[in-house]
Structure 1
């Protein structure tokens, strides 16, 4: 695949392209947070997304893009900050939306799902709760805890987003939204500062340069002198 046609033409576009490539996994993590995807699925996708972004960026920058120690350190800080941003987006996006637009609503626990896993010879249980309004209408999404804090039929208070696009959460958990927002903003600042030293995607070609000689044009066949009869000896 020829990446030259997608290569940025200016320095500012180069930096913005690099930032967008590393920001894309965090955007998907934020959507997964709103839709209540499982956190380990988000982490796997985030790791794979950052890996693909790094390969994509490597195809642009080439092996000699980060030559100095400062540039290499900035490149490592850039990837770490992108990963931390993805984690904060996964954990804090839903909390932030519910903090700003969520409405306190009394609901009943409709279903409790128990997930069992073995980690390092140790049993780990996770309880996921699905709730419904008092009139019986279901609520989209669920939320999980490490302990069984509620049972089926119990009433509790959660924050619901009016459109129903965002999964619910308890007010105690939503109170952590400010912490995750701070982590995300700091990560974005570190990414911007790191890109300042890395320099974005290089407009130079990363592959070997092929030098082609100019075409000399059609070659004419060499004119050979026809061979005649042998030289005659002189008469006596």
Structure 2
């Protein structure tokens, strides 16, 4: 095993713009800014500067840079990817891509907030377009049962899974699933993804040399970008 790493982690996939310092797989400092209108373009580097100032760490001291790579907000993911690639290229440091839903599932899996067994599925949910969510399913051993996918709520057969498993739904998209009346459908919380969720997985990726190619890396969008009108009033 190589020496434990100090990693700057960025989470920009949702309305919660979040940055963290990870050391030895633990979050030692976290800065976040939540905005309904998505303000990552304005806030991300403000948060990073505040994080560096408070931690006393220079940007060049990080061993690697980690990013929550999606799915999620197209614009947010683009901003995070551009920042992380810029740091990696300028400082000749590796970058680590952690799937957003995986980081959410890992946090709940390790939190001991639910009783896990072979009849359990952990189901992080992110909001998407009208009538859709992003989801993935993990079993009690944190093995991927179903990888990240864009779920059309009008056609997906939840009962075929709920008849076999207790499914724990959580994340900012879970409210769209509250129509489920099956007794095996359980709802935990609507918490947004956070950079602190990335720390253990970023450390693991660093130790295993699971680095992404800076030149060719793209976030996990799952769907094509559809522009919408800005909600800002000028």
What is the TM-score normalised by the length of structure 1? 0.30
Q: Specify which structure has the higher proportion of strand.
A: 2
Higher relative contact order (CA 8 A, sep 6+): 1
Q: Which has the larger radius of gyration?
A: 1
Q: Specify which structure has the higher proportion of helix.
A: 1
